[in-house]
Structure 1
Amino acid sequence: MAKGHILVLPFPAQGHVTPFMELSHRLVDHGFEVTFVNTEVDHSRVLGALQPAGSAAVLGGIHLASIPDGLADDDDRKDLGKLVEACSRHMPGHLERLVTQMEETGRPKVNWLVGDVAMGSSFEVAKKLGIRVASFWTASAACLAIMLNVSKLIEEGLINDDGWAERDETFQLAPGMPALQTSRMPWMDATGTPVGQPAMLELIARFPTLNSLAEVVVCNSFEEAEVGAFKLYPEILPIGPLVADRELKKPVGHFLPEDDRGVKWLDARPDRSVVYVAFGSMAIFDPRQFQELAEGLELAGRPFLWVVRPDFTPGLSKEWLAEFHQRVAGRGMIVSWCSQQQVLVHRAVACFVSHCGWNSTMEGVRNGVPFLCWPYFADQFMDRSYITDVWRTGLAVSPNTDGIVTNEELRSKVEQVLGDGDIRGRARVLMDASRRCITGSGSSCENFNKFVNLLISE
């Protein structure tokens, strides 16, 4: 008999679904029944990416469910303001109906909601239904700390009520935390423009209230990585870096089918020789920046594995891309998606050119891979600050006055990262610390056990 029935609710974005799926696998391993709730659109993506492997068989006991997100079929779900507003307004009601329907069909009563802080409006529904609430934050603890202090930042005049920087300066929320420019807040893009407003900032302003509805807040991090943040907020329990299973075989809710050619291609490469390039699920490059990046990889003269989503660069010349493929044939491999964890654990990977999303950051850290940071928006700038200034396990690219990272800049920084033994050494030290945390009496392991004990308590 299951220890209890847990409803899991991520924000509808790949970077949120993945860690929630990893957490869900761990909870199933501990004897819980888990129902994973995606939006209908993301549910279809996850099922589509699982084919032809088959959905239920490979999910290892996780039940998949879906609810509408409140948007029309042709709405742009990369418009964060529109997505946040629709989810906050419509999904709580749909979630309530889902819980009722599940119980009417004989499913066990839901004991807990493990929900995304960004879906906090559903916490109120859970409370109404007598369901206990745990909050799971998928980014860094430092990022959550910034979100919880928005009102303070407004009072101090660092930002205004609309989320724009009032003063161009660098600040540090607490000792040991990464320094952050006021134009690089977690709700801004690379130009310092707030994204998804006003819905995004309205949601963030409610974070302290919504978080107070949860009996516990856990996050995908570890103590040694964010000493300052956990000292500032000791009630946040780090349980990471999360992995679904040690063999990295369990599906983690990818929206695109994995191309396993990338991992097979790595098998034929020497140890620590390959530059791995991936920018997550949201970044969009214009054709000029794409070409500079491609030519930079070519100039570097190193083997590279590059993930290029189908929607990564609208308008790119197919002829140009075909010529590039010919020039780098045998040395470069381009795939549309892959199992990033399997790539980063591979002995052939020498460095990671990354957008610095938190999942990618933790995956790189756990495998001791040096970074070349190329953040796109949101919390990625803070993650870059951790990598380059706090942990010192990588470098960052510098755009020119036109905002373009040139091919020569990329070539030069790749060579610097690959040639820096101190960076490699610090990356290995942080890797060892992360692995100690999730085994035996490690801090993340003990925190996870505390979390499990709470979930089975009356």
Structure 2
Amino acid sequence: MVELKISMYVSMPGKVNELIQQINASHTHDNITCVLADSLLSWAMEIALDNQIKPASFVSFSATASVLISSIPKLIQDGIISHDGTPRKKQMVEASPSMPAMNTSSHFVWARNRLQLSNRPFLWVVRPDIADKLNIGGFQERVGSRGLIISWAPQQKVLKHPSIAHFFTDCGWNSVLEAITNGVPLLCWPFSDDHFLIEHYICNVWKIGLGFNREDGEIITKEDVISKSEELLSNGKYKANTLDLKEKLLNSIKQGGSSYNNFMAFVAWLKA
């Protein structure tokens, strides 16, 4: 994995630049007119500009996280965070008038906080390398046929199944979107990056899920897990709110919807 990352930033830029120039020098109708790349691959944008090609960045994390990240210079200037990103004190901050106030110690995307008693059937997806560290063999024996532990699952198909009551997630943006589009409430255990900001929206803005109490430290008790899980199952408002948000999301991607119109505007820009 380390070697792959090194080659991505050392070898790939030159190879991509060489490929673009080779294709565009062939004088065919298949010239490259735009470079669309992940926002983390900034070198791709530089290559596009050097070759006088339109650059477009694909941002895989939430728009609110992007706003917060772009606010870093001002947050440093205002003395809210230090140059290494550490909050100077616990306080509420508004990164944008259209975003709710956020707690510097728990909602910032760089904040780092640290996943059988529910007596309900469950599916647990655990990567093999993590499963080895957790030594979950005995756990599987205890839960028997009530719980299934696997290394991978077709998440969209699982979330579409009518027996899914809620999704215990780390609040990764793609997983959250998939849960919403399938009308599944969320139980949140964020780990890093933009997870904490997304958890804030899930629990406090959209009200489609619940998080855990970390005020007394990073330990989340088994009683809290059971309590929050039962509340999601018994309180119909979370399911209702999720279904309402699902309808809004699906309407936005239909013809005439905001996401549809934005995408078509992007396609028009590409063709211009």
**TM-score, scaled relative to structure 2:** 0.89
Counterpart position of 1:190: 113
In 2, distance between residues paired with 1:308 and 1:68?
23
Report deviation, 1:103: 5.5
Report deviation, 1:380: 0.3
The answer (yes or no) to whether the contact 1:114–1:133 under 8 Å persists in 2 is yes
Say if 2:147 is the partner of 1:332. yes
Q: How does 1:250-265 map to 2 (within 5 A)?
A: none
Q: 1:175 aligns with which of 97, 113, 116?
A: 97
In 2, distance between residues paired with 1:175 and 1:189?
25
Change (3 A) 1:103 1:334: farther
Which residues of structure 2 form unaligned runs of 5+? none
Say if 2:177 is the partner of 1:359. no
Q: How does 1:62-77 map to 2 (within 5 A)?
A: 69-70=5-6
Counterpart position of 1:302: 120
Q: What are the Cα deviations for residues 240-279 of structure 1, in whole angstroms up to 9, with x where unaligned?
A: xxxxxxxxxxxxxxxxxxxxxxxxxxxxxxxxxxxxxxxx
The answer (yes or no) to whether the contact 2:111–2:196 under 8 Å persists in 1 is no
CA-atom RMSD in angstroms: 2.5
The answer (yes or no) to whether the contact 1:189–1:376 under 8 Å persists in 2 is yes
In 2, distance between residues paired with 1:107 and 1:310?
47
Counterpart position of 1:111: 33
Q: How does 1:54-453 map to 2 (within 5 A)?
A: 69-70=5-6, 87=9, 91-100=12-21, 108-184=30-106, 185-190=108-113, 293=115, 298-313=116-131, 315-317=133-135, 321-399=136-214, 401=216, 403-453=218-268
The answer (yes or no) to whether the contact 1:91–1:122 under 8 Å persists in 2 is no
Q: For 1:97, give the aligned amino acid.
A: E
Q: Secondary structure at the match of 1:315?
A: helix
Q: For 2:17, give the aligned amino acid.
A: E
In 2, distance between residues paired with 1:359 and 1:425?
21
Identity %: 36
Report deviation, 1:68: 5.7
Q: Secondary structure at the match of 2:238?
A: helix
Q: Secondary structure at the match of 2:87?
A: coil
In 2, distance between residues paired with 1:372 and 1:438?
26
The answer (yes or no) to whether the contact 1:178–1:382 under 8 Å persists in 2 is no
Report deviation, 1:399: 4.4
Q: What are the Cα deviations for residues 410-439 of structure 1, in whole angstroms up to 9, with x where unaligned?
A: 111110111111111111100110111111
Q: What are the Cα deviations for residues 23-66 of structure 1, in whole angstroms up to 9, with x where unaligned?
A: xxxxxxxxxxxxxxxxxx69xxxxxxxxxxxxxxxxxxxxxxxx
In 2, distance between residues paired with 1:151 and 1:370?
35
Report deviation, 1:70: 2.1
The answer (yes or no) to whether the contact 1:400–1:406 under 8 Å persists in 2 is no
**TM-score, scaled relative to structure 1:** 0.55
Q: Secondary structure at the match of 1:138?
A: coil
Report deviation, 1:165: 1.1
In 1, distance between residues paired with 2:266 and 2:68?
24
Report deviation, 1:313: 4.7
The answer (yes or no) to whether the contact 1:393–1:427 under 8 Å persists in 2 is yes
The answer (yes or no) to whether the contact 1:140–1:358 under 8 Å persists in 2 is yes
The answer (yes or no) to whether the contact 2:186–2:210 under 8 Å persists in 1 is yes
Which of the pair has the greater relative contact order for Cα pairs under 8 Å at 6+ separation? 1
Change (3 A) 1:322 1:168: same
Which structure shows the bigger proportion of residues in helix conformation?
Answer: 2
In 2, distance between residues paired with 1:177 and 1:156?
19
Residue-pair matches, total? 270
Which residues of structure 1 form unaligned runs of 5+? 1-40, 43-66, 72-85, 192-292
Report deviation, 1:389: 0.5
Q: For 2:6, give the aligned amino acid.
A: G
Report deviation, 1:456: 1.8
Change (3 A) 1:114 1:388: same
In 2, distance between residues paired with 1:186 and 1:107?
44
